[in-house]
Amino acid sequence: MASVLEVQELHVSYRDGEGEERAALAGVSFDLAPGEILGVLGESGSGKSTLATALVRLLAVNGQITRGAVLFEGKNLLRAAPEELREIRGGRISLIFQEPSLALHPTMRAGEQVYQVLAAHGTSGKSALREKTRQIFAMVFPEEAERIARSYPHELSGGQRQRVLIAQAVACGPSVILADEPTASLDPTTQMEILGVFRTLREKLGVAMIFITHNPALLAGFADRVLVLYGGRVVELGPAKVLGEPRHPYTKALFQCVPAGFGGNGNARKARLPAIAGESSVSALPLKGCAYEPRCAERMDVCREREPELLSVNEGHSVSCFKYEK
């Protein structure tokens, strides 16, 4: 199947206070099939949010895409004209920010905010757009759609705000949704609810999704494929099965940091949760060699000499680690 979104060798860097360029993404490549959910997994500073914002060119002012290409339906977004890009944002690709309380206009009613997304892309008349807004609200909020449409963001709960953002995101029927930690600020029950909403939307609208999170537990049973980011590089990319049998030492270590859940026996729950040694700030990255090398439990000499390349270990499963080099 042809991919709807293809990212090739994306490099992004931020200018710091002293005017020096600091790389945040170093050659990220992947593709996204229509209707697919790609989970992007990574810890703080791995470049997750940078990835989401770079794809639609919404980086912070000090950020810059230095190299690479983002092909959306065959068109390179990095070369698109501003008006073309504006039409694509929200119309064909929607970006959901991680903090629903900050991502909504504080003095505008929820319904109005969804309506404005439609108005920015729609050509139809006002009443048609109002009707469409009502339909979208009814789809995202099974109950109380009318009341919530009339509310201001501060009158809504975190989960409801996130649903309003989702309503904005799907309003124009996009083919890709970029969700940047959409559940990070929500409690676990609401997280599950929101995941349910995403799942329904995928079934109803067939929209592909890049779902960014730091929590591997969320991706199980939700994502079709998983991409693991470390230090601005793809360390592992494969079908959701990866979660069951990780290959990269980092992915392995990461999964050990997830609590076993309520199913485990009492001893396991009392046991100390393992942590990955060292820290993951970008400034701690080695100048040469594998980004994960300083913290890796299975490091070899070659890890310090050059950067590993993404190697295919199985059908659709690739890992960037020298362990799998033949």
Among 95, 228, 237, 291, binds another protein (CB under 8 A): 95
Compute, in degrees rounded to 10, the torsion defined by CA atoms 133, 136, 141, 142: 120
Distance of CA 140 to the CA centre of its chain: 20
Number of residues lying near another protein (CB under 8 A): 43
Alpha-carbon distance of 194 to 182, in angstroms, equals: 8
63 binds another protein (CB under 8 A): yes
What are the two backbone dihedrals, phi and then psi, of residue 88, each rounded to the nearest 5 degrees?
A: -70, -45
216 binds another protein (CB under 8 A): no
56 binds another protein (CB under 8 A): yes
Alpha-carbon distance of 303 to 42, in angstroms, equals: 20
**What is the number of residues in the chain?**
326
225 binds another protein (CB under 8 A): no
Question: Which listed range, 105-113, 138-146, 194-202, 264-272, lies at the site for another protein (CB under 8 A)?
Answer: 105-113
Q: How far is the CB of 45 from another protein (least distance, A)?
A: 6
Among 3, 8, 33, 58, binds another protein (CB under 8 A): 58
User: Taking CB under 8 A as the rule, which mask of x and - marks residues 108-137 in contact with another protein?
Assistant: x-------xx--xx----------------
What are the two backbone dihedrals, phi and then psi, of residue 229, each rounded to the nearest 5 degrees?
A: -105, 140
Alpha-carbon distance of 30 to 285, in angstroms, equals: 23
Alpha-carbon distance of 63 to 51, in angstroms, equals: 11
The contacts of residue 164 (CB under 8 Å, 6+ apart) are 100, 104, 110, 113, 114, 140, 148, 153, 156
29 binds another protein (CB under 8 A): no
Question: Which listed range, 167-175, 248-256, 289-297, 317-325, lies at the site for another protein (CB under 8 A)?
Answer: 167-175
Q: Are strands 317-319 and 233-239 parallel, antiparallel or unpaired?
A: antiparallel
Q: How far is the CB of 272 from another protein (least distance, A)?
A: 27
Residues that bind another protein (CB under 8 A): 14, 44-50, 53, 56, 58, 60-61, 63, 86-91, 94-95, 97-99, 102-108, 116-117, 120-121, 165, 168-169, 171-172, 180-181
